[in-house]
A and B are shown apart, each in its own frame.
Chain A
C-alpha cells in the first residue's frame, strides 16, 4: 500500500514538474488522452473509421520523415514501402493463411527488403537525382503488378484479406495504440545517438565520413527503418480495408506523404503526425463542398507553407514556447525568466 502510494505521488510529481511546465508536452498529453478516450465520447462508425485511417497515414508520414527529413535522402516514392507492406502482408495472409498478427510484421520485413533494394542503388545519388530515381520505383512495381494478375489481382488488387477483429472498438484501439507506440519508437530513435548521425548526414555527408562514421551503413539503416514502419502502415491498411490494391502505390500517395510531412515540419517526427491529424480529417470535412474539396485543401496547404516554411507544428511550438538563450531549455512563452537557470527570456 505504501509502495503504491509512493509511485502515485511520484507520478503526480512528474506530471506537475515535467509535463505541465511546457505547453507542447501538455498538448502531446492531451493528444494521447483524447485518442485513447475517444470511444467513450462517440462510437460513430464514420468518425472511428476516419481516426483509424488517420493513424495509419500518420505512421506512414512519420516514417517518411525518418528517412527524408532526418537523413536528407529525399524519397518521392515512399508509396513503394506502403504498397509492398500492403501487398506482401495480403499475400502472406491469403496464401499462407497466417492471421494478421503474423502477416503485418512479415509484410513489414518484406518492406525492409524493399528499402534495401531501393537504398543500395540510391547510395550514390543525391538531392534531385535521388528524388527522381525513388519516384520511379513504385511505378515499376505497379507495372509488375499489372503484368502478373494471376498472383497480384492486377487492377482489382487482392481482396478478401482477413481483418484483425470485427469489433469497432477493438479495431480502433489496435490501430491507435500501434500508431502511438511506433511514433514513440521513431521519436526515440531520432532522439538517440543514431539520430544525431542521421541529422549530420543530412547536413554534410563528407564531414560525417571524415569523422570516421560509415555513412553507407547509416543510410541503409535509415532506408530499412523507414521501410519497416511504412510497411507496418501498409499492412495495417490492407487488413483494415480488406483489400490491397494498386492505389497504395499511386504517385499521388507518394506526394501526399511528402505534403503531410513538409506541412507539419520535417525532421521532427511529431510534425508529420500532427499534420496528418489535421489534414486528413480536414479533407474529409471539405466533403460538404464536394466540387471545391481538393481546391480548398491545396489552398490551405499553400498558405501554410508560404507563411510557415518550417511547418505548421513547428511554428505553433515556437509561438507557445521560447528557448532560453543561456541554457537552451524550452519554456512556456508566458514566462519572463527561464525555469531552470532564471535568465531573462527576452
Chain B
C-alpha cells in the first residue's frame, strides 16, 4: 500500500495546564484541499505550527510522504516541501518586497528546482506577479496594507515551491473584494501550472479560516477542531449539517 501523503497521528501539545491540541489525527491525500475550522482557541494555529515544526509536539507523529516530521528543524521541513504562512504576518519590514521573496527563493529547495539559470531576482518577481503585488516590488514592506501583506505571505510560501501549503487565515482582515481575489489565486495555485519561472504542481493545502462561506467554495474536505480535539471530519455539506459542529459554534440549541 502506498504511503499516505500526510498522516497525523495522536498529536498532543499542551502549554502549561492548557491542552491546546489533544490526540488529533487525520490523513490527507495528495491534491486535496483541507479546511481546518473551529471556534476561537480551538487549537487550529497550534496544529499548523506543530506541522511546520515551529512548535514541538509533546507526543504523536506527523508523517509526510513517509518521512517523520516531528523532531526536524523548520527549514528542513520547508525544504521537504511543506510551506506555511503566518497568521500575524511577519514580513521583513525594512527590506523591499522583492527581497522578502528572494529570501524564500534562496532556500535550497527553491534553488534546486526550476531553470538551471538561477536568476533569483526574476524568480522572486514571478512569485510576486502570481500574488499580484509585483507593481510594488521595490517598496519597503512596511508600506504595505493588510491585504497586500497577506499576499506577500502567500508569495513567500509559493516561492519555495511547496507540495503542501499551510495557509493560516488567508482571508483574515481582508475586504470582500480582496477576499475574492485571494480565493481566486488560491484556486489557481491549486490547479497548478507555470507562473513565469515558477513551477507549481498544484500543492495540497490546509487552510485555517473563519470566513466559512468563502472557505466552503475552495475546500474538498473539512476538519473541525474544538478545545484541541477533533470534533468532526467530512465534506463541507456533512460538516455544516453535523449537530456537533453547530453546537460548538452556536452553543446548545443554537441550530434551531
**B160 in contact (CB, < 8 A):** yes
Q: Which listed residue (A199, A204, A214, A215) contacts B99, Cβ 8 A?
A: A199
Measured CA separation A200–B124 after assembly (Å): 15
| A interface size (C-beta, 8 A) | 19
**Chain A binder among B61-69, B84-92, B239-247:** B84-92
Per-residue CB contact flags for chain B residues 85-122 toward chain A (1 = under 8 Å, else 0) read 01000111111100110111011111000000000100
Structural contact, B107 and A213, CB atoms closer than 8 A: yes
Measured CA separation A212–B120 after assembly (Å): 15
Structural contact, A204 and B107, CB atoms closer than 8 A: no
Q: Which listed residue (B74, B79, B106) contacts A197, Cβ 8 A?
A: B106
Measured CA separation A213–B159 after assembly (Å): 13
Structural contact, A214 and B95, CB atoms closer than 8 A: no
Structural contact, A207 and B90, CB atoms closer than 8 A: yes
Closest chain A residue, CB of each to CB of B110: A212
Minimum Cβ distance to chain A for residue B51 (Å)? 12
Per-residue CB contact flags for chain B residues 118-153 toward chain A (1 = under 8 Å, else 0) read 001000000000000000001100000000000000
Q: Which listed residue (A206, A212, A213, A215) contacts B90, Cβ 8 A?
A: A206
Per-residue CB contact flags for chain A residues 189-225 toward chain B (1 = under 8 Å, else 0) read 0000100110110011011111111110000000000
Structural contact, A212 and B94, CB atoms closer than 8 A: no
Structural contact, B120 and A211, CB atoms closer than 8 A: no
Structural contact, A209 and B75, CB atoms closer than 8 A: yes
Measured CA separation A102–B180 after assembly (Å): 65
Measured CA separation A199–B94 after assembly (Å): 9
Chain B contact patch, size range? 20 to 34
Minimum Cβ distance to chain B for residue A139 (Å)? 33
Structural contact, A212 and B138, CB atoms closer than 8 A: no
Structural contact, B74 and A210, CB atoms closer than 8 A: yes
**A97 in contact (CB, < 8 A):** no
**A10 in contact (CB, < 8 A):** no
Which of A199, A204, A212, A214 lies at the interface centre, i.e. has the most chain B CB atoms within 10 A of its CB? A212
Structural contact, A200 and B92, CB atoms closer than 8 A: yes
Chain A residue numbers with a CB within 8 Å of B223 are none
Structural contact, A212 and B109, CB atoms closer than 8 A: yes
Structural contact, A199 and B75, CB atoms closer than 8 A: no
- Given A211-B107, A212-B104, A212-B110, verify A204-B92 contact (CB < 8 Å): yes
Chain A residue numbers with a CB within 8 Å of B110 are 212
Structural contact, B75 and A200, CB atoms closer than 8 A: no
Chain B residue numbers with a CB within 8 Å of A207 are 86, 90-92, 156
Structural contact, A211 and B78, CB atoms closer than 8 A: yes
Closest chain A residue, CB of each to CB of B99: A196
Closest chain A residue, CB of each to CB of B107: A212
**A327 in contact (CB, < 8 A):** yes
Measured CA separation A56–B215 after assembly (Å): 61
**B45 in contact (CB, < 8 A):** no
**B54 in contact (CB, < 8 A):** yes
Chain B residue numbers with a CB within 8 Å of A212 are 75, 78-79, 83, 104, 107-110, 160
- Given A212-B78, A327-B138, verify A200-B99 contact (CB < 8 Å): yes
**B22 in contact (CB, < 8 A):** no
Interface residues of A in 163-199 (CB under 8 A from B): 193, 196-197, 199
Measured CA separation A55–B180 after assembly (Å): 58
Measured CA separation A193–B109 after assembly (Å): 16
**B226 in contact (CB, < 8 A):** no
Query: A-B pairs with the 4 shortest C-beta distances?
Result: A212-B107, A212-B78, A203-B92, A211-B104
B residues apposed to A, CB below 8 Å:
52, 54, 73-75, 78-79, 83-84, 86, 90-96, 99-100, 102-104, 106-110, 120, 138-139, 156, 159-160
| CB-defined A-B contacts under 8 Å, sample of 9 | A193-B120, A199-B99, A200-B95, A200-B100, A208-B103, A209-B78, A210-B74, A211-B78, A214-B73
Not counting A207-B90, A327-B138, a sample of 4 additional A-B residue pairs whose C-beta atoms are within 8 angstroms of each other reads A200-B100, A210-B78, A211-B107, A212-B109
